[in-house]
Amino acid sequence: MDAHVSPDPHHGLDPHIGSDAVLSLDGVGVNRGEAEIVHEVSLEVGPGTVTVVLGSNGAGKTTLMDGIAGVAQVSSGAIRLSGRPIEKLPTYRRARAGLGYVEQSRTVFRTLTVEQNLLVSRSGQGELDRVFTLFPELERRRNLQAGHLSGGEQQMLVLGRALVADPRVMLIDEMSMGLAPVVVRRLMGAVGDLVGLGISVLLIEQFAALALEIGTRAYVLRKGRVVYDGSCAELRRDPELLHESYFGAAPV
């Protein structure tokens, strides 16, 4: 671990974060096939917060999310959702327990309308209204085939589809891929609004500066390990620390 990268799990943070975590990982390893890609990750998502996971390409961010959601095999450690161990549950039972997963590759049913896309994964009418409150853009296009939406609107619909399943925690993996910064900013605003709906978020985002604006706590992964655990505010203030966490050396 580097000298400037905080080894203190509560560094610069509001001390209330921690014990009442909605999602917590304790020493988690995650495999891809035979190889362990993520090693001994301990992490907490506080209630009503956005927690940000950063790291360079190949650092293991997606593998970590896949392990939490049950898509990749957890090789060691414990994962708790509202205090309940979930690491041995199959994917669908983790989802039923309140874990929503917005995977990296955005998918909508292109030939179905916006509304039909939402109805497919609905748990109640109220949730549809929540989506349209969050994304008035989608309400205006509710009868349009989803394939005709812009990239940003499709991503809103992907988020909306996760939202109608009424999750307690949402894992969101790089939803900004290929989108213009102005669209990403709009999406980040919506992610920030999720906490107002009582949803806690674990967010992977390549636009680090935008993610750090809406996040409370940040983790940086390098080679599958946590090398920074601290506040988003600290990383925002200190771009050198951010760079060093990513790459293991200060910028030249």
Ligand X SMILES: Nc1ncnc2c1ncn2[C@@H]1O[C@H](COP(=O)(O)OP(=O)(O)OP(=O)(O)O)[C@@H](O)[C@H]1O
* Footprint of ligand X (CB under 6 A): 32-33, 37, 55, 57-63
- Distance of alpha carbon 181 from alpha carbon 184, whole angstroms: 5
Closer to ligand X by CB, 32 or 142: give it. Answer: 32
Closest CA to 101 of 201, 195, 194, 178: 201
CB of 250 to ligand X, least distance (A): 21
Closest CA to 113 of 80, 154, 78, 85: 154
CB of 243 to ligand X, least distance (A): 16
CB of 246 to ligand X, least distance (A): 11
Token pair 């969050």 is found at 134
Closer to ligand X by CB, 37 or 86: give it. Answer: 37
* Amino acid found at 179: L
CB of 45 to ligand X, least distance (A): 18
Closer to ligand X by CB, 58 or 189: give it. Answer: 58
Residue 145 per-residue DSSP state: B
Instruction: Cite the DSSP H helix spans in the chain.
Output: 61-69, 91-96, 114-120, 125-134, 136-140, 151-163, 181-194, 208-214, 232-237, 239-247
Quote the tokens at residue 75: 């090789």
Closer to ligand X by CB, 59 or 227: give it. Answer: 59
Closer to ligand X by CB, 10 or 32: give it. Answer: 32
- Distance of alpha carbon 150 from alpha carbon 160, whole angstroms: 15
CB of 203 to ligand X, least distance (A): 13
Q: Cα dist. 16→12, 119, 214 in Å?
A: 12, 38, 18
**Sign of the dihedral defined by the CA atoms of residues 183, 231, 216, 47, in that order:** positive
CB of 156 to ligand X, least distance (A): 21
- Distance of alpha carbon 88 from alpha carbon 82, whole angstroms: 15
Closer to ligand X by CB, 114 or 226: give it. Answer: 226
